[in-house]
């Protein structure tokens, strides 16, 4: 399933989606960025509550397909600008990480 | 990172890469705060690099486009209500006094404070990795001070290299003893 399709199906809100046709496979949940850096897999949907610009860098390094911000976390506009420029897909979910992951069940 | 010691290791490696002759790692602790200062006499940074050094999409690496050493350190300091500053003098402009100083301030009682972790292992690892650099480690705590200067050790060791396994083990044990003496945990 692509990021665009997944987001629509799960009812996530698009924050920025420069690459809607990226395929999503698997999911990783974590907020300690250095930890995520070594564990998230290419193509994963990464669920986090972190909002620092560093999430864009970690997404870029790990090549995750999309960042899903749980609990309706809001990003600073400057972070959205960087993510868009670097080709990082970000969507927002208004429920906590567990419920967000449940929505992904069967899709990824 | 899970421990600030790992950040210290990471930031100090920048000093090694900058061809520093001396690197000072100074931790200054009060009951409320921890200041971590890493100062070197390496090549320093030019203004353009210095201005973008906290941007994760800036790096001196050639193998990838992302550098997270300073951005992570900054984020961890800010998460506690603290801050990070980097000052630098590039060798082209300051041939006699070049180098970089990275300072981070943490509020220890904040819930999001990252623990210092195994600082002794970090110091030993740094010495082991770059025994030719003069490492000066000072940890000032409210209860007393822990310190180590590899130049002083070299004067005592004579021909025995600093990177000899026995010496490294001794350095680790000596630091642990100093921590025990001041009653730091």
User: Could you read off the pLDDT of A29-75 as tens digits, one per residue?
Assistant: 999 999 999 999 999 999 999 999 999 999 999 999 999 999 999 99
User: Could you read off the pLDDT of B148-172 as tens digits, one per residue?
Assistant: 999 999 999 999 999 999 999 999 9
User: Could you read off the pLDDT of A11-20 as tens digits, one per residue?
Assistant: 999 999 999 9
Tally of domains within chain B: 1
C-alpha to C-alpha distance for B14 and B136, rounded to whole angstroms: 16
User: For residue A10, which of A50, A49, A45 has the smallest C-alpha distance?
Assistant: A45
* Mean pLDDT of the B128-146 span: 97
User: Could you read off the pLDDT of B61-109 as tens digits, one per residue?
Assistant: 666 666 899 999 999 999 999 999 999 999 999 999 999 999 999 999 9
- Nearest CB among A35, A57, A86 relative to B68 is that of A57
Host domain of residue A64: 3-104
Look at the block and give the residue holding tokens 């001196």: B60
Host domain of residue B44: 4-182
CB contact under 8 A, B72 and A61: no
Determine the residue of chain A that is closest to B66 in CA distance.
A57
- Nearest CB among B2, B6, B56 relative to A53 is that of B56
For the record, the structure tokens of B116 come out as 């210092």
Model ipTM value: 0.81
Q: For position A87, what pLDDT does the model report?
A: 96
* Mean pLDDT of the B115-119 span: 96
* Mean pLDDT of the B98-121 span: 97
CB contact under 8 A, A34 and B1: yes
Q: For position A72, what pLDDT does the model report?
A: 95
Q: For position B61, what pLDDT does the model report?
A: 67
CB contact under 8 A, A54 and B72: yes
CATH, residue B138: 3.30.565.10
CATH, residue A38: 3.40.1390.20
Q: For position B58, what pLDDT does the model report?
A: 75
Tally of domains within chain A: 1
Half-sphere exposure in the Cβ direction for B74 (13 Å, CA): 17
User: Could you read off the pLDDT of B20-56 as tens digits, one per residue?
Assistant: 999 999 999 999 999 999 999 999 999 989 988 999 9
CB contact under 8 A, A54 and B1: no
Chain B residues with CB under 8 Å of A54 CB are: 56, 68, 71-72, 75
Helix (H, G, I), strand (E, B) or coil at B50: helix
User: Could you read off the pLDDT of A76-86 as tens digits, one per residue?
Assistant: 999 999 999 99
C-alpha to C-alpha distance for B176 and B179, rounded to whole angstroms: 5
- Nearest CB among A35, A54, A86 relative to B75 is that of A54
What is the DSSP secondary-structure string of B132-182?
A: TSEEEEEEEETTEEEEEEHHHHHHHHTTS-TTSHHHHHHHHHHHHHHHHHH
**Residue A108 scores a pLDDT above 90:** no
């Amino acid at each position: 399933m692509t990021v665009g399709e997944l987001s629509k199906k799960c009812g996530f809100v698009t924050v920025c989606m420069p690459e809607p046709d990226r395929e999503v496979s698997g999911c990783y949940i974590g907020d300690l960025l250095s930890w995520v850096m070594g564990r998230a897999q290419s193509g994963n949907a990464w669920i986090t509550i972190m909002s620092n610009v560093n999430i864009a860098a970690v997404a870029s390094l790990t090549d995750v397909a999309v960042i899903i911000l749980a609990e309706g976390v809001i990003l600073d506009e400057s972070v959205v600008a960087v993510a868009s420029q670097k080709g990082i897909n970000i969507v927002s979910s208004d429920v906590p990480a567990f419920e967000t992951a449940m929505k992904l069940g069967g899709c990824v | 990172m899970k421990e600030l010691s790992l950040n210290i290791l990471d930031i100090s490696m920048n000093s090694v890469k900058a061809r520093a002759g001396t690197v000072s790692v100074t931790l200054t602790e009060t009951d409320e705060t921890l200041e971590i200062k890493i100062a070197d006499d390496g090549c320093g940074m030019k203004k353009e690099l210095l201005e973008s050094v906290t941007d994760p999409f800036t790096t001196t690496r050639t193998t990838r486009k992302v550098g997270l050493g300073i951005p992570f350190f900054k984020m961890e300091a800010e998460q506690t209500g603290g801050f990070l500053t980097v000052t630098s003098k590039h060798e082209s402009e300051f041939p006699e006094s070049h180098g970089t100083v990275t300072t981070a301030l943490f509020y220890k009682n904040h819930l999001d404070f990252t623990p210092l972790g195994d600082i002794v292992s970090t110091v030993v690892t740094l010495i082991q990795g770059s025994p030719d650099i003069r490492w000066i480690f000072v940890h000032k705590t409210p209860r007393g001070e822990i310190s180590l200067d590899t130049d002083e050790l070299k004067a005592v060791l004579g021909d025995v290299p600093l990177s000899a396994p026995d010496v490294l083990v001794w350095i680790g044990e000596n630091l642990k003893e100093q921590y025990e003496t001041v009653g730091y945990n």
